[in-house]
């Protein structure tokens, strides 16, 4: 069955059809959330939120073709909310005086898993881009969406997607060349 057919069943309350859509798209949504957050556990939690929100809004969402662009739209909002909450938390935590008990470095070592470290480095470089350029580049490179689908997810014209993508690619290429020198 196509996503569109399954979604029709979901809108009628079909939880089994929703489960099939979850199985079909959860890995892509997880990969997107992982690239946006850099943390495996957080990405897993955010996938749950994405699908919960998708289920919650099922009556008001129409799907033409694949459900994946809609899921990426929800994932974009969920990861943005996560980043805002994390920033607020770090700001609040920065106001708390440090605790100088016996330093246990086990937590630091555990956090420095190779894959997460590399992902965070990439995220740091991408964070230097303007938000709009970054979102377009990420969706183009990692989410296997067409420029028209990216435009639909972000709610912008296709021409804007093209110009943001070209600008982001130039910037990233330039940063990589400077880093190699």
Profile the chain (181 residues) by mean pLDDT over runs of 10 residues.
94 92 97 94 96 94 92 95 90 76 59 64 75 88 87 93 90 61 51
pLDDT the model gives residue 169: 84
* Residue 51 lies inside a defined structural domain of this protein: yes
> Do 27 and 73 belong to one domain?
yes
Q: What is the CATH number of the domain that holds 53?
A: 1.10.1740.10
> Do 125 and 42 belong to one domain?
no
> Do 125 and 89 belong to one domain?
no
> Do 5 and 85 belong to one domain?
yes
Boundary residue ending a domain (40, 65, 96): 96
* Residue 155 lies inside a defined structural domain of this protein: yes
* Residue 18 lies inside a defined structural domain of this protein: yes
Asked whether 133 and 114 are in contact (CB, 8 A), the reply is: no
* Residue 176 lies inside a defined structural domain of this protein: yes
Q: Into how many domains does the chain fold?
A: 2
Q: What is the CATH number of the domain that holds 143?
A: 1.10.10.10
* Residue 102 lies inside a defined structural domain of this protein: no
> Do 23 and 63 belong to one domain?
yes
Asked whether 110 and 78 are in contact (CB, 8 A), the reply is: no
* Residue 105 lies inside a defined structural domain of this protein: no
pLDDT the model gives residue 32: 95
Both tokens of residue 30?
């997880």
Residues 6+ apart with CB under 8 A from 116: 38, 39, 40
| Angle separating helix axes 15-37 and 68-94, nearest 10 degrees | 50
Domain that holds residue 124: 114-181
Which one, of 137, 140, 143, lies nearest residue 123 by Cα? 137
Please provide residue 38's backbone torsions phi and psi, each rounded to the nearest 5 degrees.
80, 5
Boundary residue ending a domain (41, 68, 96): 96
> Do 65 and 130 belong to one domain?
no
pLDDT the model gives residue 180: 47
pLDDT the model gives residue 95: 80
> Do 78 and 156 belong to one domain?
no
Boundary residue ending a domain (96, 131, 150): 96
Asked whether 145 and 138 are in contact (CB, 8 A), the reply is: no
* Residue 142 lies inside a defined structural domain of this protein: yes
């Amino acid at each position: 069955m196509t996503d569109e057919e399954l979604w029709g069943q979901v809108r009628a309350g079909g939880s089994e059809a929703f489960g099939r859509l979850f199985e079909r798209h959860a890995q892509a949504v997880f990969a997107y959330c992982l690239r946006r957050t850099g943390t495996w556990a957080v990405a897993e939690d955010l996938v749950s939120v994405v699908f919960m929100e998708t289920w919650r809004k099922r009556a008001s969402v129409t799907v033409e073709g694949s459900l994946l662009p809609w899921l990426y739209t929800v994932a974009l909002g969920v990861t943005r909310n996560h980043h805002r909450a994390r920033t607020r938390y770090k700001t609040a935590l920065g106001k708390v005086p440090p605790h100088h008990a016996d330093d246990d470095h086990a937590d630091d070592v555990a956090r420095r898993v190779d894959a997460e470290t590399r992902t965070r480095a990439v995220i740091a470089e991408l964070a230097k881009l303007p938000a709009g350029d970054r979102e377009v580049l990420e969706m183009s490179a990692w989410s296997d969406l067409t420029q028209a689908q990216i435009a639909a997810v972000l709610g912008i014209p296709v021409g804007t997607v093209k110009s943001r993508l070209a600008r982001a690619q130039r910037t990233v290429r330039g940063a990589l060349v400077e880093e190699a020198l």
